[in-house]
Chains A and B, each alone.
Chain A
Amino acid sequence: MEPILAPESIDLVSIAPVLVLTVFAMGVMVLDLFAGKSKTLLAFVSIVGLLMTAISAFAKVGLPVFSFNDSYTVDHLSVCFILIFTLSSALAILISIDYNDRENIKAGEFYSLVLFCTVGMIVLASSTDLIMIFLGIEIVSICLYVLAGIRRNHLKSNEAALKYFLLGAFATGFLLYGMALMYGATGTTNLISIADLIKSDGVKSEPLLMIGAVLLLIGFGFKVASVPFHMWAPDVYQGAPSPVTAFMAVGPKAAALVAFFRVFAETLPEISFFWETLLVTISILTMFIGNLGAIMQTNIKRLLAYSSVSHVGYILMAVLVKNTLGSASLIFYMVTYAFMIFGVFAIIIMLGRKGDENLEIEGYSGLGFKHPVIALCMTVFMLSLGGLPPLAGFVAKFYIFNAALQEGFLMLVIIAVLNSAISLYYYLKVIVYMYMKEPVREFQLSITPITLFVVALAIIGTIQLGIFPDPILSLAQQ
């Protein structure tokens, strides 16, 4: 009987965030048994867990640290993204407390699944191994399939879950096929070894590597909802419960994007001549179809779904930049995007009531006269999403465009600026409805302190990051 050799580089401290959050996620499940009917306690326990995770992200000093045979990395990018994930998950849990009460979602599993999903995102952001990336994506996706369909007796929710599941499983096939081909071409699943091998011309069968890269591009394209793989986004965003929609639009998307960045910008820059054109095309298509699709929408959640597709188009430019400037602008964009999206969705949740979510944009008519403060907040978020100075959305776009300009993507930047202008049309449409139309219905707002707190936090974030972006920017650029 020979002993099993432990991996040479076992380093449990480096995976501290994953461990802490997994323990909390399972703890929430157990606590669910004793929590009784109200699940609010679980929400607060989850938030404590997320807070501890955020703290444990700083457990390692002297970055970057590689552990578990270089398959797990703690570097600046992963630490920043762990903070973004914990922030977005905490905000999602906060806005879901009242929503779940109202919509009768009495499941402690909801919070547990959000935490597990965050575990998957952390794995995605920190791993430098194709196997780990695959497992991370699957953990995130399975949680989201369930969360999207958690309103069992809601037809749209059922539709969302089923569509998301079928298309997600299909996309996983591409991802796995691409990874297998890449493994065949290089003989390793480790991203660092793959990068070294390509640099030293050690790859014998380049076509295999390239087909693998294309399939990975398709797989990631599905997960981040870039055109032409965006078909699921509007239906899923519309059908999923509003807090889950907000959660999906920020955390998991950011996680898939950072994995995208790690695979393409950090591992395959040597063969960028080949995937760069593809990615530029995808980015341009994503911006145009996202923005043009959003113009036609009458449902606010579908509008935001298309708008988030177009935002992916801008963010993909950060992957194209391929250097630390790209990763820094990616981090900054996702922070600001988190604040804007959660602010908007907190307001959407406030405007709904039991059995009637009030999601048509027409239902927002006259909000500006009846509830001026809330309408003003909505206006700020919409203008920020559209990228108007001095709000955070402008600074985020400015840094991505600037980074792309420095790498010589002049045409792409011009198209992106043009698209920002197009996008203002539908963001302003919401504002026009709020301030310039007569109310078509009674407003019965369900304002609660927690939701108000989220809106206030999002407003502060949006304005603060717009006027004084330096602290976060310098943190992102280290």
Chain B
Amino acid sequence: MFEITYEVVVFVLGITAVLAAFGVILCASPIYCALYLIGNMICLALLFLLFNAEFIAAVQIIVYAGAVMILFLFIIALLGGKKEISEPSVQRSSAFTFVILLFCELLLAAAVKPTHPITGDMAPDVVNAIGSAKAVGIELFSRHLVPFELASILLLIATIGIICLAKFSYLPARRRLK
């Protein structure tokens, strides 16, 4: 008799996420790729939910499956999502080998002995008492304060960089060569 346990649900969700990821790289049409990517992100959000990280799950859905994917779809719509014609080539097959290698690695990671337990101030009962959003906030602003501030520098640089590249008048390459 097959019983649906917690482990089985986690495993099935994980496999679905990996399959969705395969869909992203194997589909010829960009729109389908984007849809598979959404599927992958929803699977990840469900996994977070299963690990009692409700806040991260919500963020995953809102930010990635919501905002980022909408941008993706907009850009695909802007550029015209034509099907790409696939030609068999050495590079393509070597890329496949590589992906399969990484996948095997993932299976190996699943087969290894139990990983090291993570210790910290946030025991399950503490998280239950204050809620996972607050737990994330407390961790971010205390233990991970410096990385948090560095991430803000990173975002600032990305903004400066893209404005810097976009503000110059730009001639398309075709017209420049004339």
Interface residue ranges, A against B (CB under 8 Å): 2, 4-7, 10, 15, 22, 26, 29, 68-69, 71-72, 107, 109-110, 112-113, 116, 119, 123, 129, 131-132, 135-136, 138-139, 142-143, 145-146, 149-150, 152-153, 155, 158, 181, 184-188, 197, 202-205, 207-208, 211
Q: Are A132 and B173 in contact (CB under 8 A)?
A: no
A-contact 0/1 string along B149-176, CB 8 Å cutoff = 0110110111011111100111101001
For B105, the chain A residues whose CB sits under 8 A away are 211
Known A139-B153, A211-B109; contact A131-B165, beta-carbon cutoff 8 A? no
For B170, the chain A residues whose CB sits under 8 A away are 152-153
B116, B117, B118 — which one has the most chain A CB atoms within 10 A of its CB? B116
A393 to B17: give the CA distance in the assembly, Å.
52
For A203, the chain B residues whose CB sits under 8 A away are 116
Give the shortest distance, in Å, between A111 (CB) and chain B (any CB).
11
Q: Which residue of A lies closest to B155 (CB)?
A: A142
Q: Are B116 and A131 in contact (CB under 8 A)?
A: no
A186 to B118: give the CA distance in the assembly, Å.
8
Q: Which of B108, B112, B142, B144 contacts A131 (CB 8 A)?
A: B144
For A119, the chain B residues whose CB sits under 8 A away are 153
B143 within 8 A of A: yes
For B130, the chain A residues whose CB sits under 8 A away are 2
Give the shortest distance, in Å, between B174 (CB) and chain A (any CB).
11
Give the shortest distance, in Å, between B156 (CB) and chain A (any CB).
8
A116 to B159: give the CA distance in the assembly, Å.
12
For A155, the chain B residues whose CB sits under 8 A away are 173, 176
Which 3 pairs show the lowest CB-CB distances between chains A and B? A187-B116, A146-B161, A109-B164
Q: Which of A5, A138, A211 contacts B142 (CB 8 A)?
A: A5
Main secondary structure of the interface of B (DSSP, over half): helix
Q: Are B138 and A4 in contact (CB under 8 A)?
A: yes
Number of interface residues of B (CB under 8 A): 40
A139 to B158: give the CA distance in the assembly, Å.
9
Q: List 5 A-B residue pairs with CB atoms under 8 Å apart, sorted by A's residue number.
A: A139-B150, A142-B158, A152-B165, A153-B168, A155-B173
The tally of CB-CB contacts under 8 A between chains A and B is 117
Q: Are A107 and B164 in contact (CB under 8 A)?
A: yes
B114 within 8 A of A: yes
Known A68-B146, A135-B154, A142-B157; contact A204-B165, beta-carbon cutoff 8 A? no
Q: Are B112 and A205 in contact (CB under 8 A)?
A: yes
Give the shortest distance, in Å, between B94 (CB) and chain A (any CB).
12
B66 within 8 A of A: no
Q: Are A185 and B116 in contact (CB under 8 A)?
A: yes
A211 to B104: give the CA distance in the assembly, Å.
12
Q: Are A143 and B109 in contact (CB under 8 A)?
A: no
Q: Which residue of A lies closest to B114 (CB)?
A: A204
Q: Are B153 and A150 in contact (CB under 8 A)?
A: no
Q: Are B115 and A184 in contact (CB under 8 A)?
A: yes
A205 to B119: give the CA distance in the assembly, Å.
17
Q: Which of B147, B157, B169 contacts A132 (CB 8 A)?
A: B147
Give the shortest distance, in Å, between A241 (CB) and chain B (any CB).
13
For A69, the chain B residues whose CB sits under 8 A away are 143
For B178, the chain A residues whose CB sits under 8 A away are none
Q: Which residue of A lies closest to B172 (CB)?
A: A153
For A68, the chain B residues whose CB sits under 8 A away are 145-146
B141 within 8 A of A: yes
Q: Which of A4, A181, A185 contacts B141 (CB 8 A)?
A: A4
Q: Are B116 and A135 in contact (CB under 8 A)?
A: no
Q: Are A181 and B109 in contact (CB under 8 A)?
A: yes
For A185, the chain B residues whose CB sits under 8 A away are 115-116
Q: Are B176 and A207 in contact (CB under 8 A)?
A: no
